[in-house]
Amino acid sequence: MASSNEYRKLSIKDALKAKKSFVKDAIETINELDKNIKAFITVNENAQDVPGNFSGIPLAIKDNIVVKEMKTTCGSKILETFVSPYDATVVEKLKKAGFSIVGKTNLDEFAMGTSTEYSAFYTTRNPWDLDRVAGGSSGGSAAAVASGEVVAALGSDTGGSIRQPAAFCGVVGFKPTYGLVSRYGLIAFASSLDQIGPITKTVEDAALLTQIISGKDPRDATTVEKQIDFSKYIGKNFKNICVAYPEEVFAEGIDNEIARKFEEFIKFLESLEISVKKINFPELKYAVATYYIIAPAEVSSNLSRFDGIRYGLREEKEGLLETYLETRKNGFGPEVIRRIMIGTFTLSAAYYDAYFERAQKVRRKISSKINEILSNYDFLITPTSPITAFKIGEIKDPLVYYMMDIFTIPANLAGLPAISIPFGFSNNLPVGMQIIGKRFDDAKVLGFADFIEQTSPYNTNGRFPTPLEEEEK
């Protein structure tokens, strides 16, 4: 059995080289650390090695992705006791490859949030500072990887829910091109925006996991037949390329320290003989408003199935309508109710044209603008988040909360690949930088991120330091 220190630093590549099982190490580490971090909703204490090329490597799965014979709660009281009778496609593929699922991670209820404060059970804490949030909605997955509880994890990303917590926790978070990874078994939030992806310690690990979970799935009509070697550009040199950043990045709302780190990032890229150009992206300011019309509208539709009749919480009342109302009132938390109400309002006959139809038109404009930028440049870069991890309970205003997604939302609206990679610290808290690429250019996005990771002054041998390593210094 590995020592605690050795295990917590492992990447998937390291674990493969070791040729031994780390499943028990994972469970022991979770039992030791998670009473403080609270990354997990369910721990699979009976997890065993699974035959396959990656046998003995423990992974965690965000708790809105179903795993057979394990609870899938979506961080909600309405599904608190639901046990899935089947595996999601991505879970099937991971098990077939030999990975062991050691637990399901905490999230904002139904993936609606950016801090995991909206989980019905508890708030996940940031491993770098336990008084701060881990981000969201995949905060549990990001915290589990950053703390070394698991080697890697899966999350889901609707408006930044993989990339933002990865940035807050100092790990790698990758959202693949929409349609490359099956959503079968992902409990839907906003179907035109949702995408499953990996949260890992290295970019190479992210490429490896994406290779395994991607592919056409007859059970998900939005998946595409596209053969991609996600590791094709890992280890390649990306000098002499040209990247762009929006001048709007420095608009009001971005933390001064994040702005300084982004300027440092630009200078770092230029030192690698990469051309970095400032461009105009005025449509960026409409991204959050557009998202928060389209996403809640899809929520209103997708969450109508949770009615207490077929599965989950059921508050029995005299009449059917009364049963529906009582079940949903007691089963859903405040943020989910807020978004259902917004979505139902914008889809109503009187306001459909004024809000939802108009938002769809703006979505097309934003997508067209990003695609136009990427037709002239190799990548678009931004900070992942305009702020670092904030203190638990610090942000009360929903509008301030929603604006944290301003840099991550555009990739979802356009269905493009995007990755967050660590780039140093601000006030001892991790900072993430985002790279967005052309549709189906996932391998190049991963390759460029790997090139940065390997040359970054903040990495040691291509590995971002974990909280444990910082303590040891």
Beta partners for residue 435, in sequence order:
381, 419
- Portion of the chain with pLDDT greater than 90, in percent: 88
User: What confidence score (pLDDT) does residue 318 get?
Assistant: 86
Residue 258 has pLDDT above 70, yes or no: yes
Residue 105 has pLDDT above 60, yes or no: yes
Cβ 167 vs Cβ 431: under 8 Å: yes
CATH of the domain at 174: 3.90.1300.10
User: What confidence score (pLDDT) does residue 5 get?
Assistant: 75
User: What confidence score (pLDDT) does residue 435 get?
Assistant: 98
Q: What is the CA radius of gyration of the chain?
A: 21
427: left (phi over 0), alpha (psi -120 to 50) or beta: left
User: What confidence score (pLDDT) does residue 468 get?
Assistant: 64
Instruction: Let me know the angle formed at the C-alpha of 367 by 364 and 370, rounded to the nearest 5 degrees.
Output: 150
Read off the pLDDT of residues 428-447 as tens digits, 9 standing for 90 and up. 999 999 999 999 999 999 99
Domain extent for 46: 4-282+364-472
Given 161, 182, 231, 385, which residue is catalytic? Answer: 161
Asked if residue 240 belongs to a domain, the reply is yes
Mean pLDDT confidence for 184-195: 97
Mean pLDDT confidence for 442-461: 92
Mean pLDDT is lowest, of 6-10, 39-43, 57-61, 112-116, for: 6-10
Q: Higher confidence at residue 7 or residue 468?
A: 7
User: What confidence score (pLDDT) does residue 154 get?
Assistant: 98
Q: Is 191 a catalytic residue?
A: no
Residue 321 has pLDDT above 90, yes or no: no
User: What confidence score (pLDDT) does residue 471 get?
Assistant: 61
Q: How far apart are CA 60 and CA 243, in angstroms?
A: 34
Mean of per-residue pLDDT scores for the chain:
95
Q: How far is CA 137 from the centre of its chain?
A: 7
Note the residue count of the chain.
473
| β-bridge pairing 58-62 and 100-105 | parallel
Read off the pLDDT of residues 205-220 as tens digits, 9 standing for 90 and up. 999 999 999 999 999 9
User: What confidence score (pLDDT) does residue 360 get?
Assistant: 97
Q: Higher confidence at residue 321 or residue 431?
A: 431
Q: How many domains does the chain have?
A: 1
Cβ 230 vs Cβ 443: under 8 Å: yes
Beta partners for residue 433, in sequence order:
383, 421
User: What confidence score (pLDDT) does residue 98 get?
Assistant: 98
User: What confidence score (pLDDT) does residue 204 get?
Assistant: 97
Cα four-point dihedral sign 54, 58, 60, 61: positive
Read off the pLDDT of residues 47-72 as tens digits, 9 standing for 90 and up. 999 999 999 999 999 999 999 999 99
Instruction: Let me know the angle formed at the C-alpha of 171 by 167 and 175, rounded to the nearest 5 degrees.
Output: 70
User: What are the distances in angstroms from CA 7 to CA 61, 145, 386?
Assistant: 19, 11, 32
Given 115, 137, 420, 456, which residue is catalytic? Answer: 137
User: What confidence score (pLDDT) does residue 313 get?
Assistant: 87
Asked if residue 266 belongs to a domain, the reply is yes
Helix spans in 151-202 (H): 163-169
Asked if residue 393 belongs to a domain, the reply is yes
Q: Higher confidence at residue 359 or residue 309?
A: 359
Given 38, 62, 261, 444, which residue is catalytic? Answer: 62
Beta partners for residue 197, in sequence order:
155
Read off the pLDDT of residues 77-91 as tens digits, 9 standing for 90 and up. 999 999 999 999 999
User: What confidence score (pLDDT) does residue 470 get?
Assistant: 61
User: What confidence score (pLDDT) does residue 463 get?
Assistant: 65
Asked if residue 164 belongs to a domain, the reply is yes
Q: How far apart are CA 60 and CA 47, in angstroms?
A: 11
Residue 3 has pLDDT above 60, yes or no: no
User: What confidence score (pLDDT) does residue 2 get?
Assistant: 59
Q: Is 137 a catalytic residue?
A: yes
Asked if residue 303 belongs to a domain, the reply is no
Q: Is 368 a catalytic residue?
A: no
Residue 466 has pLDDT above 80, yes or no: no
Going by C-alpha positions, the residue among 70, 105, 102 that lies closest to residue 84 is 70
Read off the pLDDT of residues 259-314 as tens digits, 9 standing for 90 and up. 999 999 999 999 999 999 999 999 999 999 999 999 999 999 999 999 888 888 88
Residue 472 has pLDDT above 60, yes or no: no
Tell me if the bond preceding 137 is cis, omega within 30° of 0: yes
Residue 326 has pLDDT above 90, yes or no: no
Mean pLDDT confidence for 149-160: 98
Asked if residue 291 belongs to a domain, the reply is no
3-class SS of residue 102: strand
Helices (H) and strands (E) counted in the chain, each on its own, are: 16, 13
